Structure 1
């Protein structure tokens, strides 16, 4: 063991799927003594050859380090892997994809067992781990004390963004951003469907679409400001009444192109509902309130 390795705090990692394996390799490359465990032991063989210690059980893996990082399939998998394991005095960082409610419950569960707890939402794909210029990061929420104490080690594979003491906030930020992403994908799919049967090269069309989406994405700042102030008519350029009046054209175009409107019609219906209860001069922000149950 080199002096550099000895100076780095040990890490235990539970879960060696694609992301877990990528995280493991970054900690090894940075000189952290690493203990790994995976339910399917064969997945650990390559990492063992690279210097990781392979534990024969989750309990022995947890016993090997004070910092325990979990990256498993789901919350049930976390409970099963750590069932009966002594967590007293450990720092548990859970990077498993869960709901905010599951994260809060898991935080209470960990604290009852004497562990400090952080929940994480990974905003990256495996190839981004250990590549700072790729821009990947992890949302963290829960114990601020734990985050500050382990920030350096946690920042080895991916950037870190602490979003609050509420353990559910990392998962909430994760799902909120990914939900917006899927909404963008839905709009992109509809746009490509509209040109699909025409003599329009999708590759030539793509830069136009990408630039347009990038420009429109700046509108999130205005929406945020209106939500904070409660004034949905602040800074409006194209008001709700005008936009609702234009929706029949979009639906007629889809009909004419032989394209299902199922990806855009629900949003148009929300716009019209908001117009019925709001002001003609509003922006689209009031749609947010219609989604709240």
Structure 2
């Protein structure tokens, strides 16, 4: 029997998929109605988290943050079966994941952090990506079940907290991407360009496809072989800022990027590839 703590959009869809695969699922959520709703799918809901995890061999967790995970697991631990495995899919700090692994190991409980790049539909369809790192023997023991929950299980090796750090890094990129799209739409609006026209552009020219090559170029540090000089990129950023200002549009990301560009130009890197602004991150 397996238990699942946290019946938000991700957790509830994980449970539905696991039931469909023949698993017996005990579920709990602070808002009890969300757990009760899953009884129609075949889950057994409990009002107390201790009752939900009692006798469970594996306990999955999808909660809000480090503090919530710590609080709920501490309460649930009163009924943990000796040797139980806790698999935490919550996006947390790397420090928190490391500390929980150590703490629960000292108490005879196996804790594994397995964050995901998955939305509710991915959880329902068992697609997307799940990340793990840490005790390789433990990962080997559960990788079969975890692989059934996702399209791809990615093992980042024995270092505790590595999966958590990589998940946050990926999320940072997603936040930056969305903010960049917001700026692009604001600039398009300033020029009287409809959103559909930008969609049409991106359907033919996909800038996201260049991300791996751009990252490779940055990691190689060959900034003196420019494909787009920093001076020219800064000129374009200035045009963007001027057009937005004239239209009364607010840009969130470009002003900060322009400031960083100015700092690197002042250091004498104006003729380098514009990606030199990432040099200090290497």
Taking structure 1 as the reference length, the TM-score comes to: 0.83
Once the two structures are TM-superposed, the CA of residue 94 in structure 1 deviates from its matched residue by 0.6
Q: Which runs of 5+ in 2 are unaligned?
A: none
Q: Quick one: distance in 2 between partners of 1:46 and 1:260? A: 43
Residue 188 (1) aligns with residue 181 (2) = yes
Contact kept, 8 Å, 1:71 with 1:96, in 2: the verdict is yes
Contact kept, 8 Å, 2:84 with 2:109, in 1: the verdict is yes
Distance 1:256 1:277, change over 3 A: same
Q: Which runs of 5+ in 1 are unaligned?
A: 1-9
Distance 1:55 1:246, change over 3 A: closer
Matches within 5 A, 1:51-200: 51-83=42-74, 85=77, 86=80, 88-132=82-126, 135-159=127-151, 160-196=153-189, 199-200=192-193
SS at match of 2:54: helix
Distance 1:284 1:63, change over 3 A: farther
Q: Quick one: distance in 2 between partners of 1:266 and 1:217? A: 24
Q: Deviations over 1:245-278 (max 9, x none)?
A: 4332222222233223442010111122123335
SS at match of 1:259: coil
Instruction: Give the corresponding residue for 1:3.
Output: none
Distance 1:90 1:225, change over 3 A: farther
Residue 238 (1) aligns with residue 228 (2) = yes
Instruction: Give the corresponding residue for 1:45.
Output: 36
Contact kept, 8 Å, 1:74 with 1:98, in 2: the verdict is yes
The alignment's C-alpha RMSD in Å is: 2.5
Q: Quick one: distance in 2 between partners of 1:164 and 1:40? A: 36
The count of aligned residue pairs is 278
Q: Which protein has the bigger helix share?
A: 2
Taking structure 2 as the reference length, the TM-score comes to: 0.86
Instruction: Give the corresponding residue for 2:237.
Output: 247
Which of 250, 260, 272 is matched with 1:282 structurally? 272
Q: Deviations over 1:266-293 (max 9, x none)?
A: 011112212333534432333234468x
